[in-house]
Structure 1
């Protein structure tokens, strides 16, 4: 049985327990009060039925608060107007009113108090010849005002509790949403890391293995060179994969792959403080490529036979590490696509430095050979675009009218948080080439 079912069963037991207690009080109290009053009607079967009607209705007060209020009101009015003696007959009415007033609308519950005062206290009883005095007129008026004040206070308290509950629920949902976003971002970061680690290397291995198979009999020396490249590239890839898996299993953060500016660590003073254990550090990584290592980045691509030239416009400058690494990743992924999809073509890398941005353009000519087919599409262009957008930049990729393919990216010279508005808009045109898969 669930917690809600247990709570509901407990509420029913409480309501009927209260109904029994109220029934006893009304029956006994009204009998005593009626016997001590003169000029009133003796209690009969109808009077006892009215005295029991209110308590019985209280058993349903949580499920049907307004109908229960109506039943107890009619029973109390009928009892008083039936010329029976005053007594605790209104006890069930008070309880029903407090229940309905706290949960229901004011316009349907608060008028019951005024109607009850008019019908049972003054002026209707006086018009019917019932004895009324100043205490009844003014004293019970004060008690009815107090009853409304109690109902309003309980109503406000319930509203405060409900608001707190809603805020707590909203905070819980917001925390769950943040956790889901964090998990999604972490999965995306891991996927991007795996792609960056493996895509370029596996493409080189694929191309070099094709070259080795083709030249194995005719040009064994070139085939051996291709196999040596496969061995070196696969070893480096395995090292990267093992490092990444170690970082994931140890709980190290994967997303911030970019090197930060080195800081001089202060020498700890061990004279007054005990030695503290060093915090866990992320697993060591192979140095991340940057634009400073552009020649080294291109060396592996050139071993596949791709002719790559570079052109620099403007004065090269030191970029923030997050921008520098992203630029190198975009260049590497673009060249990987050229190797896979445009064999026999040549590539041109153009870097244009401005005070606000660094523009990267990777063009390749029309392919002259047969593209390497892996059987599946990739996410290279999607990943490059996500990387550029995350930094406040933009990236376009597409075929050139003259044949070939172009990848054009514009990255801010500073991280997005410090870039002036409008400085990162992309002016590069959609571009040219082989295939838009990566």
Structure 2
């Protein structure tokens, strides 16, 4: 995990903590020593001050802070009984465990523990072996708490990074699907119109001119829609001024555009059209667009029929053709064709089906809820 440099707020917080522990140490050292019949002199207060003030830079230099706290606390315990200085030592151990990797932090904690246990066997009033347990507790407990906090923070950071990666992957997939739908349909229509133009160029040049005009119009429309899609991606907030997103209302325009490619398309609407959420309307339109594009690419000479049925709770979209209904048509587009349509519909809470029709040809069917999934 990348180490974060402490900011000015961290420094101010550390300085404030150091002053609080300094005040606590100055106020509590004399009473704590007096309880055990010892008088706290200037040397005791100097050690308390040094241990507390070292915490002002605890996040910037954790190991240096721990070294100062360990040395001053050990010196204090060699001369005086337990006192408030141990709180400063505890905070220093916790800081190393939180802000440094486990292995170097463990080495630092072990060194601090070894130094602290000196007073168990030496000094004015050594407690002996019975003092090992409380001495170890002043290191083990804050180290365990600090390690737990650090691991929790790292896990949270990893989860956030993973969520951000998943969101970015989802956005890339969405953009890829949009670009595929726009460019794929436009290029398929242009290819078909170009084939017609080449076929008619020598025998009937006036009809070839019509096909070339259709190519020009189709390419302009595809470029305009692609420009809009990329503009929204660049802005990232969806507030760019642009034409409304395509929807089922544009299906007749799509039908007229494909008429110039030699693909007759009929559109049948059943029920009273309702205002759909933008995502639902766009997904339904893309189903029609991608299905008709696949007909152009794979069905051979064929006709196509689009049926749209509105109900109070759902909208059904069905596209059938009279073409070959080949396996290639069923696999059309790979991850961005039928599979992409299925993912788009499923994400909105709908159902999707595609396959050869009973009477020949190919059938694509999608059912979408009128209300977008929250």
Alignment TM-score, normalising by the size of structure 1 = 0.55
Contact kept in structure 1, 2:306 and 2:320, CA below 8 Å: yes
Within 2, Cα distance between the matches of 1:347 and 1:15?
83
| Alignment match of 1:187 (pick from 172, 187, 190) | 172
Query: RMSD of the TM alignment (CA)?
Result: 4.0
Tell me how far 1:352 sits from its aligned partner.
2.8
Alignment of 1:147-186 (within 5 A): 155=141, 164-186=149-171
Q: Deviations over 1:236-293 (max 9, x none)?
A: 22223333333333x2435xxxxxxxxxxxxxxxxxxxxxxxxxxx223234332233
Q: Deviations over 1:272-323 (max 9, x none)?
A: xxxxxxxxxx22323433223332221111211112123344x223132332
Q: Give yes or no for the alignment of 1:89 onto 2:73.
A: no
| Alignment match of 1:398 (pick from 311, 334, 355) | 355
Q: Give yes or no for the alignment of 1:202 onto 2:159.
A: no
Within 1, Cα distance between the matches of 2:77 and 2:283?
80
User: Structure 1 residues 367 and 215, CA, compared in 2 at 3 Å: closer, same or farther?
Assistant: farther
| Alignment match of 1:342 (pick from 258, 282, 299) | 299
Contact kept in structure 1, 2:350 and 2:367, CA below 8 Å: yes
Q: Give yes or no for the alignment of 1:319 onto 2:356.
A: no
Contact kept in structure 2, 1:396 and 1:408, CA below 8 Å: yes
Alignment of 1:154-303 (within 5 A): 155=141, 164-249=149-234, 251-254=235-238, 282-303=239-260
SS in structure 1 of the partner of residue 126 of structure 2: helix
Farther off after superposition, 349-358 or 222-231: 349-358
User: Structure 1 residues 291 and 89, CA, compared in 2 at 3 Å: closer, same or farther?
Assistant: closer
Contact kept in structure 2, 1:243 and 1:285, CA below 8 Å: yes
Unpaired segments ≥5 residues, structure 2: 6-58, 81-106
Within 2, Cα distance between the matches of 1:302 and 1:391?
31
Q: Which residue of 2 aligns with 1:263?
A: none
Tell me how far 1:368 sits from its aligned partner.
10
Contact kept in structure 1, 2:71 and 2:115, CA below 8 Å: no
Q: Which residue of 1 aligns with 2:369?
A: 412
Alignment of 1:80-159 (within 5 A): 87-90=124-127, 94=131, 96-102=132-138, 104=140, 155=141
Farther off after superposition, 63-72 or 319-328: 63-72
Within 2, Cα distance between the matches of 1:409 and 1:93?
77
User: Structure 1 residues 245 and 319, CA, compared in 2 at 3 Å: closer, same or farther?
Assistant: closer
User: Structure 1 residues 218 and 287, CA, compared in 2 at 3 Å: closer, same or farther?
Assistant: farther
User: Structure 1 residues 103 and 9, CA, compared in 2 at 3 Å: closer, same or farther?
Assistant: closer
Within 2, Cα distance between the matches of 1:368 and 1:9?
75
Tell me how far 1:25 sits from its aligned partner.
4.7
Q: Deviations over 1:402-432 (max 9, x none)?
A: 4321111111122224xxxxxxxxxxxxxxx
Q: Give yes or no for the alignment of 1:309 onto 2:266.
A: yes
Tell me how far 1:230 sits from its aligned partner.
0.8
The number of aligned residues is 288
Contact kept in structure 2, 1:203 and 1:339, CA below 8 Å: yes
Within 2, Cα distance between the matches of 1:69 and 1:286?
73
Q: Which residue of 2 aligns with 1:63?
A: 110
User: Structure 1 residues 343 and 233, CA, compared in 2 at 3 Å: closer, same or farther?
Assistant: same
User: Structure 1 residues 398 and 72, CA, compared in 2 at 3 Å: closer, same or farther?
Assistant: farther
SS in structure 2 of the partner of residue 98 of structure 1: helix
Q: Which residue of 2 aligns with 1:387?
A: 344
Unpaired segments ≥5 residues, structure 1: 27-59, 77-85, 105-154, 255-281, 418-438
Tell me how far 1:340 sits from its aligned partner.
1.1
SS in structure 2 of the partner of residue 88 of structure 1: coil
When Rg is computed on C-alpha atoms for both structures, the one with the higher figure is 1
Within 2, Cα distance between the matches of 1:199 and 1:248?
19
